[in-house]
């Protein structure tokens, strides 16, 4: 894993921690930033966001209500990557 992936994975944890704390304003800002970078990025950027950000997003959130609340804020392009990796999950329903 290179330095970019390490930084992006850590940023994913900052987003996850904001979701766990209920700081949805900060989490939404993080998610929107990565969504824009994904939409404007090249193949390397897409792979970095997919592998280092989306795959680890909300990995340690145990509470399904908190996950559902966080999931509501995930933009469509990041959702698509998440579902491709993890499949559909119960917390994704009725969003």
Tens of pLDDT, residue by residue over 45-58, are 999 999 999 999 99
Question: What pTM, to 2 d.p., does this model score?
Answer: 0.92
Query: What pLDDT shows up at residue 80?
Result: 96
Q: How many domains does the chain have?
A: 1
Q: Where do runs of H (alpha helix) occur along 41-94?
A: 43-48, 64-71, 76-86
Low-confidence ranges of the chain (pLDDT < 50): none
Query: What pLDDT shows up at residue 4?
Result: 79
First vs last Cα of the chain: how many Å apart?
A: 33
Query: What pLDDT shows up at residue 5?
Result: 86
The domain of 59 spans: 3-92
Query: What pLDDT shows up at residue 16?
Result: 98
């Amino acid at each position: 894993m290179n330095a970019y992936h390490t930084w992006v994975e850590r940023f994913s944890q900052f987003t996850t921690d904001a979701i766990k704390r209920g700081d949805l304003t900060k989490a939404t800002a993080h998610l929107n930033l990565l969504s824009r970078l994904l939409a404007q990025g090249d193949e390397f950027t897409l792979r970095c966001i997919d592998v280092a950000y989306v795959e680890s997003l909300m990995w340690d959130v145990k509470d399904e209500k908190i996950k559902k609340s966080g999931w509501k804020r995930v933009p469509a392009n990041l959702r698509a990557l998440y579902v491709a990796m993890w499949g559909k999950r119960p917390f994704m329903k009725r969003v």
